[in-house]
């Protein structure tokens, strides 16, 4: 119930705890205002994707309740229309509650209920109640876990999977263009046997494809919804068919194969599926760190570093050193990875907060999970388009390093033995001479035979070189 304030600027609303002033233009009611007043913690609000999921949940619940004969058709239609406006982002400013709030997310659930009831009441004249109508057959305890799963599933499908596929294609395209280019391999950051660029980039590509597979493997559990469990998992105050019909209708609305949880007690009391998904996101972050650091090392220099590649020059790299250009995109990527790994730690700790029938760190799980998905999606596209697609290879630098690489002598192990090979490698390194020259002086092998055995490109295919090994 609402009373207009005499002075303007605010109105007076009431809930079960009494009256409270609410800003005049706000669509929310007393429970939302109490949360705004109670939690001035961070200024961080629930993510857009989460509010979208709440809107979809409220619209779907209203449609199911009218189908079950529990809700007036006109009220249901008004709720659906208002909820879809919320889902579409039309009223995001009406969701002011801090992420760090009541652990069940009750404040945000009531925020949605009050905003939708306010909007719907404009159509049916104050007949729509946030609890009795918009929240019919629901509890914050099943709605917020459902919103976590729905928002995460949508974000993975719409943002992260397309971005990772785009990155994988960019790596594969670059690898194909560099298939004939051989470079010095490095283990322990030290010179090692030669590899081809397409082999090195192929490793990156496989990491990305593995990340995609891990995300898909989480899908079946993320698609299981808590909706229908209501307060403690028993389904109190919800129609027995509500959960099944809800999941089926939401699946139709979103195109994602949502299904009711096989055990509502598990879905309310734990967030294991969110923790699992966060683990997959963390692994992708680790993969992006490896790729980004490889790019940074290969780009290092250009004179005093490896100087194997040149990343696209995007901006000046120093406020004091003219001409300096830094690998800014890989640097941004490793910072994103650090954030995602930190988010995973938060989600893991929050996942442990399932006491008896309810996890009580739901909002912070939602916030960090969706942030990780968004950050990884955005930076994956940046890596693809602004780093990998445009880097050039310094072939002169690569060939010079290959020629002087004493580790090439490894190819002669089966011909001259390890100890003699080690002596040749040490001499070549000490004298700064090509290993082929030193091997010519210290073995009975002919020059042409040495050239064949020590050809860097030929050494990228593996196998035994020398008599009986197919290498000469």
Residues noted as catalytic: 188, 318
Residues 6+ apart with CB under 8 A from 391: 174, 295, 299, 309, 310, 311, 312
Q: Give per-residue burial for 256-293: e unless 16+ CB within 10 Å, then b.
A: bebebbeebebbbbbbebbbbbbebbbbbbebbbebbb
Among 109, 169, 163, 177, which residue's Cα sits nearest to residue 139? Answer: 109
Q: Say if strands 2-4 and 354-355 run parallel, antiparallel, or are unpaired.
A: unpaired
Residue 393, φ and ψ in degrees, nearest 5: -105, 135
How many whole angstroms separate alpha carbon 33 and alpha carbon 272? 32
Name the token pair of 189. 């950051």
Residues 6+ apart with CB under 8 A from 21: 5, 10, 11, 12, 33
Residue 21, φ and ψ in degrees, nearest 5: -80, 135
Residues 230, 231, 237, CA angle at the centre, nearest 5°?
55
How many whole angstroms separate alpha carbon 143 and alpha carbon 164? 30
Give the distance, in angstroms, between the CA of residue 177 and the centroid of all CA atoms in the same chain.
28
DSSP states of 9-41:
SEEEEEETTEEEEEETT-S--HHHHHHHHH--S
Q: Say if strands 259-260 and 224-225 run parallel, antiparallel, or are unpaired.
A: parallel
Helix H segments across 100-139?
A: 106-124
**DSSP category for residue 316:** B
Cβ pair 91, 55 in contact under 8 A: no
**DSSP category for residue 465:** -
């Amino acid at each position: 119930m609402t009373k207009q304030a005499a002075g303007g600027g605010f109105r007076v609303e009431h809930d079960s705890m009494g009256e409270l002033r609410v800003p005049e233009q706000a669509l929310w009611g007393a429970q939302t205002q109490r949360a705004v007043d109670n939690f001035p913690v961070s200024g961080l609000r629930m993510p857009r994707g989460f509010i979208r999921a709440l809107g979809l949940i409220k619209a779907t619940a209203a449609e199911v309740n009218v189908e079950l004969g529990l809700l007036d058709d006109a009220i249901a239609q008004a709720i659906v229309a208002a909820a879809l406006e919320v889902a579409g982002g039309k009223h995001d400013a009406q969701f002011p509650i801090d992420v760090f709030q009541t652990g069940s997310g009750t404040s945000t659930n009531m925020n949605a209920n009050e905003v939708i009831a306010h909007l719907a009441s404009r159509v049916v004249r104050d007949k729509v109640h946030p609890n009795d109508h918009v929240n019919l057959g629901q509890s914050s305890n099943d709605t917020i876990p459902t919103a976590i799963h729905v928002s995460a599933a949508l974000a993975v499908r719409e943002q992260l999977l397309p971005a990772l596929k785009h990155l994988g294609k960019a790596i594969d395209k670059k690898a194909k263009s560099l298939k004939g280019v051989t470079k010095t391999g490095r283990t322990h950051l030290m010179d090692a046997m030669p590899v081809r660029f397409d082999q090195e980039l192929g490793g990156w590509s496989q990491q990305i494809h593995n990340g995609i597979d891990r995300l898909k493997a989480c899908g079946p559990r993320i698609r299981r919804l808590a909706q229908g469990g209501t307060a403690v998992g028993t389904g109190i105050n919800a129609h027995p068919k509500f959960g099944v019909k809800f999941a089926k209708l939401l699946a139709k609305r979103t195109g994602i194969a949502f299904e009711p949880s096989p055990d509502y007690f598990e879905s309310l009391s734990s967030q294991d599926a969110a923790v699992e998904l966060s683990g997959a996101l963390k692994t992708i972050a680790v993969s992006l760190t490896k790729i980004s650091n490889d790019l940074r090392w290969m780009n290092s220099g250009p004179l005093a570093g490896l100087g194997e590649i040149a990343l696209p020059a995007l901006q000046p790299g120093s406020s004091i050193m003219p001409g300096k250009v830094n690998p800014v995109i890989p640097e941004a990527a490793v910072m994103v990875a650090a954030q995602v790994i930190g988010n995973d730690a938060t989600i893991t700790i929050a996942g442990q907060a399932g006491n008896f029938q309810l996890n009580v760190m739901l909002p912070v799980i939602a916030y960090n999970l969706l942030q990780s998905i968004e950050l990884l999606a955005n930076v994956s596209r940046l890596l693809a388009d602004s780093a990998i697609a445009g880097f050039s290879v310094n072939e002169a630098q690569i060939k010079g390093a290959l020629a002087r690489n004493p580790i090439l002598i490894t190819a002669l192990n089966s011909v001259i033995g390890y100890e003699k090979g080690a002596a040749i490698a040490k001499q070549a390194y000490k004298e700064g001479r090509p290993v082929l020259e030193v091997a010519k002086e210290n073995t009975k092998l002919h020059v042409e035979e040495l050239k064949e055995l020590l050809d860097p490109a030929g050494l990228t295919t593996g196998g035994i070189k020398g008599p009986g090994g197919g290498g000469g």
